[in-house]
Amino acid sequence: MSKSSISNSVIRRLPRYYRFLGELENNGYVRISSRELSEKMGLTASQIRQDFNCFGEFGQQGYGYNVSDLRIEIGKILGLDKQTPMILLGAGNLGKAIAAHIDFRNKGFDLIGAFDVNEGIIGKEIGDLKVRGIDELSTFCAENKPVAAILCVPMGAAEKLANTLIECGVKAFWNFTHYDLKVTHKGVAVENVHLGDSLTTLSYCLNNLNNSEK
Amino acid sequence: MSKSSISNSVIRRLPRYYRFLGELENNGYVRISSRELSEKMGLTASQIRQDFNCFGEFGQQGYGYNVSDLRIEIGKILGLDKQTPMILLGAGNLGKAIAAHIDFRNKGFDLIGAFDVNEGIIGKEIGDLKVRGIDELSTFCAENKPVAAILCVPMGAAEKLANTLIECGVKAFWNFTHYDLKVTHKGVAVENVHLGDSLTTLSYCLNNLNNSEK
């Protein structure tokens, strides 16, 4: 099966498999059956077998999966064997927290720059990066060629900034704004983190939990 | 159709509809056709009609949707007409940024407390809340009856804390940890925000973008 025909829901499960196999490896597991893995992960064994079959033959009948091999293979599929240069746009509360919280190098990226428009933030340090003014963006991109960007800017600034970044060669956006990059720009990779939508979904789930109990 | 039979993917689209309708209302829209809404949102008109039909008859043939009415109805479905008391567990970088960044009252929640184990964080202020020590948690819950919690603690602390919170009456978790609450606890509402998995997914998408261009 070609990669492009893999469904979005399988792709969404891959990072979790990767993370889970890492934990198993740390706990000394050498191999695991799809049944045991399914019980630990709250999935069905047949779903796990189907998911892994999308990418090739990983398991062996009656033996199960080799934890380390499977993790390495999934890591390659996820592109974690590379480190794509990434920059942060918007180094306020949220941007700063994300930069500090995430282990970029283990997720396939290398955070090489941070930018803001706020004079009170420019020049401050985030980890080992000094926040630069947005006027340095084009020069920085020409010199350092970032391919990915984290958007942590206000909604109103997102469209113009996204256009500039794409002109500068950025092809992947980790988008924390509500600006709909997927709708306006084709041919770029976009992963939206809509924290507000996520909290709203929790409200629905809680509300529905209450309804189903009545 | 009963609420419990609504698919997860429809539920995931509701917050975006709600948000989008709010923007339309702010821009002076009184009504909108499913076709116009679909173009603006990058969905198909038939998907929009199907989604809204899950909850009842909102539109009118040849007239379209009344933007304000539809937004109010979706808001009710999402439970945004209530404000559920919520507490933050873990007031480090990420927890602090989330507390500052999110407009809880517009998402159906009211942030009433923040807790941490770190002596350097306890007593500090997040907005109008003072961070409390975790030893105050049970008393606080008995007095203030929070129903929802944000988990921003290290993975190792999540399991014990989740158990304590459930004993204290918490029924909804906005989970930023990798602890699999959905697998271990039934009968609670869980919304996971796995930032690391999200970034890993972006790596896959970028990698696949490159592959499809070759």
- Nearest-CB residue to A78 (from B101, B103, B204): B204
- Nearest-CB residue to A198 (from B40, B79, B193): B193
Per-residue pLDDT at B53: 83
Q: Are residues A165 and A95 in the same domain?
A: yes
Per-residue pLDDT at A1: 42
Q: From edge to edge, which strands make up the β-sheet containing B132-133? A: B132-133, B109-116, B84-89, B148-151, B172-175, B189-192
Q: Are residues B119 and B73 in the same domain?
A: no
Q: Are residues B62 and B110 in the same domain?
A: no
Q: Are residues A102 and A43 in the same domain?
A: no
CA–CA gap between residue A50 and residue A47 (Å, rounded): 5
Residues of chain B with Cβ-Cβ distance to A84 below 8 Å are 203, 206
Q: Are residues A69 and A105 in the same domain?
A: no
Structural tokens at position B146: 């929070």
Residue ending a domain, choose from A33, A62, A77: A77
Q: Is residue B15 part of a domain?
A: yes
CATH of the domain at B21: 1.10.10.10
Determine if residue A148 is labeled as part of a ligand binding site.
no
Residues of chain A with Cβ-Cβ distance to B16 below 8 Å are 194, 197
Of how many residues is chain A composed?
214
CA–CA gap between residue A34 and residue A166 (Å, rounded): 42
Residue ending a domain, choose from B77, B107, B141: B77
Q: Is residue B207 part of a domain?
A: no
- Nearest-CB residue to A191 (from B180, B191, B202): B202
Single-letter code of the amino acid located at A74: I
- Taking an 8 Å cut-off on Cβ atoms, the answer to whether A148 and B202 are in contact is yes
What domain range includes position A27? 3-77
Q: How far is CA A61 from CA A35, A39, A65, A74, in A?
A: 12, 18, 9, 19
**ipTM of predicted complex:** 0.91
Q: Is residue B209 part of a domain?
A: no
Encode pLDDT of B141-180 as tens digits: 999 999 999 999 998 899 999 999 999 999 999 999 988 8
CA–CA gap between residue A172 and residue B210 (Å, rounded): 11
Contact A78/B204 with Cβ under 8 angstroms?
A: yes
Residue A136 to chain B, least CA–CA distance (Å) = 25
Q: Is residue B25 part of a domain?
A: yes
Domain count, chain B: 2
Q: Are residues B109 and B190 in the same domain?
A: yes
Contact B144/B113 with Cβ under 8 angstroms?
A: yes
Residue A174 to chain B, least CA–CA distance (Å) = 7
Encode pLDDT of A101-152 as tens digits: 999 999 999 999 999 999 999 999 998 899 999 999 999 999 999 999 999 9
Per-residue pLDDT at A211: 64
Q: Are residues A91 and A169 in the same domain?
A: yes
SS3 readout for chain B:
CCHHHCCHHHHHHHHHHHHHHHHHHHCCCCEECHHHHHHHHCCCHHHHHHHHHCCCCCCECCCEEEHHHHHHHHHHHCCCCCCEEEEEECCCHHHHHHHHHCCHHHHCEEEEEEEECCCCCCCCEECCEECEEHHHHHHHHHHHCCCEEEECCCHHHHHHHHHHHHHCCCCEEEECCCCCHHHHCCCCEEEECCHHHHHHHHHHHHHHHHHHHC
- Taking an 8 Å cut-off on Cβ atoms, the answer to whether A208 and B3 are in contact is yes
Residues of chain A with Cβ-Cβ distance to B78 below 8 Å are 200-201, 203-204, 207
DSSP A141: H
Per-residue pLDDT at B1: 42
Per-residue pLDDT at A5: 63
- Taking an 8 Å cut-off on Cβ atoms, the answer to whether A189 and B183 are in contact is no
Q: Are residues A115 and A146 in the same domain?
A: yes
Q: Give the residue among A176, A39, A70 at the shortest CA–CA distance from B199.
A: A176
Q: Is residue B148 part of a domain?
A: yes
Per-residue pLDDT at A178: 87
Q: Are residues A48 and A64 in the same domain?
A: yes
The count of CB pairs under 8 A between chains A and B is: 216
Residue ending a domain, choose from A77, A93, A111: A77
Per-residue pLDDT at A158: 93
Q: How far is CA A203 from CA A155, B5, B18, B105, in A?
A: 23, 17, 13, 11
CATH of the domain at A130: 3.40.50.720
Determine if residue B93 is labeled as part of a ligand binding site.
yes
Question: How many CB atoms sit inside 10 A of residue A61's CB?
Answer: 5
pLDDT category at A155 given cuts 50, 70, 90 is confident
* Residue B84 bridge partners (DSSP): B109
DSSP A105: G
What mean pLDDT value characterizes chain A? Answer: 90
Q: How far is CA A36 from CA A31, A63, A71, B105, in A?
A: 10, 12, 16, 42
Q: Are residues A190 and A89 in the same domain?
A: yes
Q: Is residue A66 part of a domain?
A: yes
DSSP A131: P
Encode pLDDT of A50-75 as tens digits: 888 877 777 666 778 899 999 999 99
Q: Is residue B212 part of a domain?
A: no
Per-residue pLDDT at A2: 47
Per-residue pLDDT at A181: 83
B56 vs A4: which has the higher pLDDT:
B56
Determine if residue A129 is labeled as part of a ligand binding site.
no
3-state SS class at A191: strand
Contact A21/A58 with Cβ under 8 angstroms?
A: no
What mean pLDDT value characterizes chain B? Answer: 90
- Nearest-CB residue to A78 (from B172, B195, B200): B200
Q: Identify the residue among A200, A208, A209, A214 best suited for mutation to test binding to B, counting B beta carbons within 10 A and taking the highest.
A: A200
Q: Are residues B89 and B60 in the same domain?
A: no
Q: Are residues B22 and B101 in the same domain?
A: no
Q: Is residue A125 part of a domain?
A: yes
Which residues in chain B land under pLDDT 70? 1-5, 59-61, 183, 210-214
Residue A208 to chain B, least CA–CA distance (Å) = 7
- Nearest-CB residue to B191 (from A12, A19, A202): A202
